[in-house]
Structure 1
Amino acid sequence: MNFRRIEWIFFIAFIILDIFLVSSYFRQGPIPNANSKGTENTTVSVLKSMRDDQINVGKVSNKKDNGYYISSSDGNHLKEKGNSLRYQNWSYNNNQINSTFATMIKVNADNPQRSLKSIVNDPSQIIDGKDYKYCKKLSTKNVIVYAQYIHGDPVYDSSGQIRFHVKNGYIEGYTQGHLENIQTLRGSRKIISQKRALIWLYQYNKLPSNSTVESSNLTYSKLLSVNGNTIYIPTWVFYIKNNASGSTIYRKINAFTGAVMDDGNN
């Protein structure tokens, strides 16, 4: 693909992106203005309201980091390398490998990366395993997640993850997506802080009463696809436990604009 064509793809992508963000804004309503009431007093007031609603948020950061628009090309990289895989049965669908190991692998529940290190680093068992790192915060007792990282933050979508499936202490198999030809589309820009994202979620009525925000992560999530390329953006992901039922829900918020994204894990 020549440089001129890449420029046009990115130009079209940003037109679509701008349309998407504007339409999201009007569907959701104006984003609460951090300065509309002046001030830190407003933040303190909102945090107090959370406590009154029995929402436990713990310690949250007001630090503002930098983020980027990222592009990844859609391709058949995994499919093309699939014939190198051994000791497993695999299929390819929607740009992902779905595999079942011939022999299940015993996993160390406390340190699963120890059990999987030799597997992930073996190209006959995992394609390009070196491109992923174990991500404890995105893992559960049933799914062990290895993610690709962009500018130090993990990819939240399965399109950039290896997800090992655990049953009764053994890994049965995995699904794998892989981001190819990752490019930064624009220079860095400031993202909203963890505290600001949490406040906006509350103001959007996305934090249920009698709940606990157990953790949050800054990740990269899929925004849209255009012309065989997918755009990713920085995203705050909050993990919220319902104290009454014990169930966990997920909330995502665009770290550039503060717009709430889809609820739930992918």
Structure 2
Amino acid sequence: MNFKKIELIFFIAFIVLDIFLFTSYMQKDDLVESTVNTFSNNTTDSIMKSIKNDQISYSSLSTKKSSGYYLASPVKNTLRNEAARLHDVLWSYNDQKLTVSFDNSVKLKNVKNPQTTLNILTKDKTRVLYGEDYVYSKSLSTKNVVVYTQKIRKLPVYATNGQIRFNIKNGYVLNYSQSYLSNVQVLKEQKPIISQKRALIWLYQYNKLVNNSTVKWVHLAYTRLLTVNGSVIYIPTWVLAVESNSSGSIQYRRINAFTGAFMEQN
């Protein structure tokens, strides 16, 4: 048997192993998912009372359930390959992220509502690539950084991948960085998603809610799970912004929307 045939056999075996490991991971998720609905109404009410007793406040939470998908996006240099289409800018590319500086800074029409200007800018294909795939995120934006998230299967992407981050100074847009999920594929059939309220309960039970704090918002979005054979896997995730009432600092917490499992920050 020659070397090329041996190399081909090992390559195929490696791919099969990757598929087996990822399938096993999702099957494990299915087993964990069976525990999601084990709480009785009395237990839920008791936990919500404990949350309030710990001086953790929150706004109205939905009990509505929905469904979602596992998604995969191959690691590609799509933005670098298309960057030549941009005009009147300087750009650089590194680690799947495109950084763009304008020859002439863009003035915001309304500093308090930057999306008024940026919604128009993102639709200009000579200045922003695939801008129509992104939407303004008020929750993730600050005075100096305005964030647009890529939207996939009706959900935003809350990860370093799939976002445009505009840098603002003195009412002008100086530059932006962009990452993009391309060729997104559905890996598995629709799966049920836990409710917004259930996500808060799970987070509290994992002891990841700080006493004397405020849950500013609870959003459903796609976040990164793992990397398999050159593709990044994304899942629906409940992302919670928790602000300490004493220090004012904000922590972002993630709950797997399929299983209720706590997910470490990445």
Q: Which TM-score bucket, shorter chain as reference?
A: 0.7 to 0.9
Structure 1: any 5+ residue segments left out of the alignment?
Answer: 1-7
Match in the other structure for 1:114? 116
Displacement after TM superposition at 1:12 (Å): 3.3
Q: Distance in 1 between matches of 2:72 and 2:132?
A: 20
**Structure 1 moving runs of 4+ over 3 Å:** 8-14, 17-23, 30-36
Structure 2: any 5+ residue segments left out of the alignment?
Answer: 1-13
Q: Any conservation in 1 of the 2:75–2:230 contact (CA below 8 Å)?
A: yes
Q: How many pairs does the alignment contain? A: 252
What aligned pairs does 1:1-266 form with structure 2 within 5 A after superposition?
Answer: 12-13=18-19, 15-16=21-22, 18-19=24-25, 33=35, 39-107=40-108, 108-263=110-265
Secondary structure class of the residue paired with 1:190: strand
* TM-score, reference length from structure 1: 0.85
Displacement after TM superposition at 1:135 (Å): 2.4
Displacement after TM superposition at 1:33 (Å): 4.7
| Rg (Cα) greater in structure | 2
Displacement after TM superposition at 1:105 (Å): 2.2
- Which string of whole-angstrom CA distances, capped at 9 and with x for unpartnered residues, describes residues 122-176 of structure 1? 1221112122222223322222122221221101112111111223332221110
Q: Any conservation in 2 of the 1:235–1:253 contact (CA below 8 Å)?
A: yes
Identity %: 47
Displacement after TM superposition at 1:84 (Å): 2.0
Change (3 A) 1:132 1:35: closer
Change (3 A) 1:14 1:257: farther
Q: Distance in 2 between matches of 1:10 and 1:211?
A: 47
* TM-score, reference length from structure 2: 0.85
Q: Any conservation in 1 of the 2:101–2:176 contact (CA below 8 Å)?
A: yes
- Which string of whole-angstrom CA distances, capped at 9 and with x for unpartnered residues, describes residues 31-51 of structure 1? 995555x51111111111111
Change (3 A) 1:59 1:33: same
Q: What RMSD, in angstroms, separates the aligned Cα atoms of the two structures? A: 2.7
Change (3 A) 1:192 1:11: farther
- Which string of whole-angstrom CA distances, capped at 9 and with x for unpartnered residues, describes residues 173-208 of structure 1? 111011111111111110111111100101111110
Q: Any conservation in 2 of the 1:17–1:224 contact (CA below 8 Å)?
A: no
